[in-house]
Amino acid sequence: MALPIKYNLRNLIVRKGSTLATAFTIGLTVAVFLLVMALARGIDLTLSSSGEPLNVIVVREGSTAELNSSVTRENFNDLIYLDGVTREGDQPLATGEIITLIYKARKGQSQGSNVTVRGVGPMSFKLHSGFEVVSGRSFQPGLTEAVVSKRIAERFQGLDVGDKFRIQTTDYTVVGLFDSAGKAFESEIWVDVNSLSSTTKRDTFSSVLLRAKDQSALAALSKRITDDPKLHLKALSERTFYEDQQGIASGALKGLAVFISFIMAVGAGFAGMNTMYAAVARRTKEIGTLRVLGFSRRSILVAFLLESVAVALIGAAIGIVLTLPLNFVSTGTSNWVTFSEIAFNFRVTVDLMILALLFGAIIGFVGSLLPSIRAARFRIVEALRA
Amino acid sequence: MRFAKFILKNVLRNKRRTLLTISSLVVSLFLIISLATILTEFERGSQEANPMRLMTRHSVSLGFLLPIADVQRIEAVPGVKAVMPFTWFGGIYKDEKNFFANFAADAKKLREIMPELKMSDAEWQAFVADRQGAVVGRKLVKLYGFTPGQRITLKSPIYNQDVEFIIRGVCTGADEKTLYFHHDYLNELAPEWAKDQAGLFSILANSPDDVPRIAQAVDSMFANTDAPTKTESEREFARSFETMSGGVKQFLYGIMAAITFSLVLVMGNTMAMTVRERTKEVGTLKAIGFKRPTIAGLFLGEAILLATIGAAIGIGGAVLLFHSVDMSIYIPGFFISFVPTTQTLIAAFLLSIVVGIVSVVYSTYRVTALTIAEALRSTE
């Protein structure tokens, strides 16, 4: 026969000070775990959403990033008329883009980081969906004007509408700010590809983007381009390209999350054990009475375990509530492949919250196992005499 | 001291509880020390930078290269002792997981410009004589079992090359997870866009006083060329990498604050239980004439004793671990070493004592405020 849940809940309320302290300890552990995981998730989501399912990106063979890649204009003209490339009217849905970096100081600091500048053509806006000017206007082709992602403008000095910044020896004027549906482009500055080409005295593109007609055309196109021995190019789906970049930063964060939260969980587990031992000691007589009333050892064990898991779940819920305000808060770090800034949001997703609850429950369960076994092992006579 | 025995007896009264509380304290302190060490090691690069050295890069970005021909012009700047090209190769050994830094440098000048690299004369000569030769840091030997004479291939996505090197020496000093090789060799293999180009110039000045003047002279010399430069002291250069990581610092401080707060809760909860259980005893002590400050002192002493033991084990354990196992080998990134600083350890100790005191204040205040009758009547 199981003890009624009400019994556990009332007990928690009776010793509410210690219940809250234990819950908060577990809550902080869960909050730290969630915080670091939410950062890693933010990076993952930003990069995995950046590629469009039917886009093929072409870079120089061996390149891991667009920055160190180059595709000649001659190759570009061959690529865009390949079979399987979508057309809009008689224009192929394809674009060549140029990537460069500029060094900007962060707001409120004298030091800063590299920001990616992407030279884009008219078709780029169709190939990268989600681009939206949120203030000012877009740049005019042929002029040295730029649109800056809102997030970058918020984080770096001198990139607001009306400001000028320098790429090599040419000044560009910021004429607008943009959003791009949470994609990696929100870490970038966009300018006209031909202006950037003359500014950087660079004739080749960094990458070429093609829209395939369908999934099978995408596979065929990628294979056709990569296998061509004359081209020395690599083509892959844009989605895979961005997903491959998330490795280092988000992997390191996940490692950090596991390391920190494991140690904190051990600490919280010890604390939970202390509380439960005290609870068991104080209720020894009560346990004896319950046994006399006919409750089995097992129901005593289950009751104490449940009580502790309940505290842990309250704690985990507190932890989740503590981290929720950070959801969608923007932050940034350097991409160690290109040494440029990637801006992203903390993302406290539902599956992370479930993971956090589970994590909390495990701390509660493991921490209370020994005290609960002790409670279940009392002999009736001794317990009553305590 | 009159009360030392009393306090000790009380600490040992509930051995299991004491053990659990101390364990909790120990793991939390260990974690705090580890995180603080990440922070201090992160800044070591700029703190230990050579004050006589400067770094020159393309003024736009590290992603752009500079013409090697600039070296001769920089050498002519007054106060400059030596200059060499220094280029990030980005080579990967077998698998992307095996990430370590590898630079092309002028083999003949490397020893003069980076005197912190220590290697035998024979090894230096062997390295300089072999244009395919490479020098590896001691930790790389530990990680991948490199031995002198061994041929290794690094695959560089930047240069789109698989390049074979012959290890000619093992060096200590600086970041011991770095491989250095001949810039001439890189230049030979480099694709057209990277021919006769270097990523950085490493400049050695005659004296630290010359450094600011050299930086200015170099930058104004190239200001109106296709490749304008940005020259700064090695310390500034290292610091710019540190700030590139953005919010990492605040983030780690936030986590340490959370751990500290949870420690206060753990200790506070334990001490509250301990104090409450002794309500009756407090009544007895008061009845036989002990004053409130003395009784409070007893509880305070107990908390401080617990905190001290916890701190001693936590700090001792961290010191022992980090001095016997060099974590910098296993942690990815540019950690030169991974040893907690004395300041970190002192701070951890003080933190522990403060947490101990804070944890006991409220419950002690409550229980010692009771009258003798109230305390004796307690049912706890």
- Using one digit for the tens of pLDDT, what is the confidence trace for B312-342? 999 999 999 998 888 777 776 667 788 899 9
Which positions in chain B touch A106 (Cβ < 8 Å)?
Answer: 243, 246
Q: Taking 90 as the threshold, does the pLDDT of residue B248 lie above it?
A: no
- Give the whole-number percent of chain B exceeding pLDDT 70: 97
Which positions in chain B touch A196 (Cβ < 8 Å)?
Answer: none
What distance in Å separates the CA atoms of residue A359 and residue A36, rounded to the nearest whole number? 14
Same domain, A263 and A337: yes
Q: B44 or A191, which is more confident?
A: A191
What distance in Å separates the CA atoms of residue B73 and residue B225, rounded to the nearest whole number? 13
In a domain, A222, yes or no: no
Q: Taking 60 as the threshold, does the pLDDT of residue A145 lie above it?
A: yes
Same domain, A126 and A178: yes
Answer yes or no: do A277 and B266 touch at CB < 8 A: no
Same domain, A64 and A207: yes
The count of domains in chain A is: 2
Same domain, A65 and A133: yes
Amino acid A336: pLDDT: 56
User: Cα angle vertex A197, ends A194, A199, to 5°?
Assistant: 110
Average pLDDT over residues B197-202: 94
What distance in Å separates the CA atoms of residue B227 and residue B218, rounded to the nearest whole number? 12
- For residue B210, which of B201, B218, B221 has the smallest C-alpha distance? B218
Which positions in chain A touch B32 (Cβ < 8 Å)?
Answer: none
Domain endpoint, select from A165, A191, A211: A211
What distance in Å separates the CA atoms of residue B354 and residue B260, rounded to the nearest whole number? 10
Average pLDDT over residues B265-289: 89
Answer yes or no: do A169 and B228 touch at CB < 8 A: yes
Distance from CA of A31 to the nearest CA of B (A): 9
Answer yes or no: do A100 and B273 touch at CB < 8 A: no
Average pLDDT over residues B18-39: 92
Answer yes or no: do B259 and A112 touch at CB < 8 A: no
In a domain, A233, yes or no: no
Answer yes or no: do B99 and A275 touch at CB < 8 A: no
Q: Which of A58-67, A196-205, B349-358 has the lowest mean pLDDT?
A: A58-67
Q: Taking 80 as the threshold, does the pLDDT of residue B130 lie above it?
A: yes
What distance in Å separates the CA atoms of residue B256 and residue B279, rounded to the nearest whole number? 34
Q: Which of A93-102, A195-204, B290-299, B328-337 has the lowest mean pLDDT?
A: B328-337
* Mean of the per-residue pLDDT values of chain A: 87
Amino acid A105: pLDDT: 86
Q: Which of A119-123, A237-241, B119-123 has the lowest mean pLDDT?
A: A237-241
Q: Taking 70 as the threshold, does the pLDDT of residue A333 lie above it?
A: no
Q: Are A367 and A273 in contact (CB under 8 A)?
A: yes
What distance in Å separates the CA atoms of residue B131 and residue B183, rounded to the nearest whole number? 9
Distance from CA of A296 to the nearest CA of B (A): 27
Domain endpoint, select from A184, A211, A238: A211
Which positions in chain B touch A260 (Cβ < 8 Å)?
Answer: 31, 35, 255
Q: Which domain covers residue A93, as residue numbers?
A: 55-211
- For residue A346, which of A358, A332, A360 has the smallest C-alpha distance? A332
Average pLDDT over residues B142-167: 89
Same domain, A203 and A73: yes
Where do we find the tokens 């700010």?
A: A177
Distance from CA of A229 to the nearest CA of B (A): 15
Amino acid B246: pLDDT: 59
Please give the single-letter amino acid code of residue A27. Answer: G
Q: Taking 80 as the threshold, does the pLDDT of residue B307 lie above it?
A: yes
Amino acid A76: pLDDT: 93
Amino acid B109: pLDDT: 94
In a domain, A223, yes or no: no
Average pLDDT over residues A135-149: 94
User: Cα angle vertex A308, ends A307, A314, to 5°?
Assistant: 95
Amino acid A176: pLDDT: 95
Which positions in chain A touch B193 (Cβ < 8 Å)?
Answer: 70
Nearest beta carbon to residue B266 from set A252, A260, A267: A267
What distance in Å separates the CA atoms of residue A55 and residue A127, rounded to the nearest whole number? 7
Distance from CA of A256 to the nearest CA of B (A): 10
Same domain, A65 and A138: yes
* Tokens found for residue A99: 């990537």
- Give the whole-number percent of chain A exceeding pLDDT 70: 95
Same domain, A256 and A340: yes
Answer yes or no: do A267 and B244 touch at CB < 8 A: no
Question: How many residues in chain B?
Answer: 380
What residues pair up with A97 in beta bridges, in sequence order? A207
Amino acid B80: pLDDT: 95
Same domain, A170 and A256: no
Same domain, A252 and A132: no
Amino acid A247: pLDDT: 62
Using only C-alpha atoms, chain B has a radius of gyration, in whole angstroms, of 30
Which positions in chain B touch A263 (Cβ < 8 Å)?
Answer: 27-28, 30-31
- Please give the torsion angle defined by the CA atoms of residues A206, A211, A212 and A218, in that order, rounded to the nearest 10 degrees: 40
The beta strand positions in A272-364, using DSSP E, are 330-335, 340-345
Answer yes or no: do A114 and B160 touch at CB < 8 A: no
Q: Which of A12-21, A45-54, A161-170, A244-253 has the lowest mean pLDDT?
A: A244-253
Distance from CA of A351 to the nearest CA of B (A): 22
Average pLDDT over residues B223-246: 82
Answer yes or no: do B157 and A248 touch at CB < 8 A: no
In a domain, A109, yes or no: yes
Which positions in chain B touch A167 (Cβ < 8 Å)?
Answer: 60
Answer yes or no: do A109 and B243 touch at CB < 8 A: yes
In a domain, A236, yes or no: no
- What are the Cα distances from residue A12, in Å, to A22, A191, A306, A318, A339? 11, 62, 11, 16, 52
Same domain, A176 and A113: yes
What distance in Å separates the CA atoms of residue B76 and residue B61, rounded to the nearest whole number? 25
Same domain, A23 and A132: no
Same domain, A163 and A253: no
Nearest beta carbon to residue B193 from set A25, A29, A70: A70
Amino acid B353: pLDDT: 95
Amino acid A337: pLDDT: 57
Closest Cα in chain A to B57 = A103
Q: Are B283 and B375 in contact (CB under 8 A)?
A: yes
Site from A30, A260, A363 to mutate, B interface, most B CB atoms within 10 angstroms: A260
Q: Give residue A338's pLDDT band: very low, low, confident or very high (50, 70, 90).
A: low
Where do we find the tokens 């004027």?
A: A173
Amino acid A19: pLDDT: 85
Average pLDDT over residues A94-114: 85
Q: Give residue B380's pLDDT band: very low, low, confident or very high (50, 70, 90).
A: low
In a domain, A34, yes or no: yes
What count of Cα atoms within 13 Å lies in the side-chain half-sphere of residue B267? 34
* Mean of the per-residue pLDDT values of chain B: 89
In a domain, A194, yes or no: yes
- What are the Cα distances from residue A222, in Å, to A84, A209, A217, B361? 10, 11, 8, 69
* Tokens found for residue B190: 């480099």
Distance from CA of B123 to the nearest CA of A (A): 32
- What are the Cα distances from residue A220, in Å, to A57, A215, A223, A224, B324? 13, 9, 5, 6, 55
What distance in Å separates the CA atoms of residue B57 and residue B66, rounded to the nearest whole number? 7
In a domain, A186, yes or no: yes
User: Cα angle vertex B371, ends B369, B377, to 5°?
Assistant: 115
Q: Taking 90 as the threshold, does the pLDDT of residue B356 lie above it?
A: yes
Reported ipTM exceeds the 0.90 cut: no
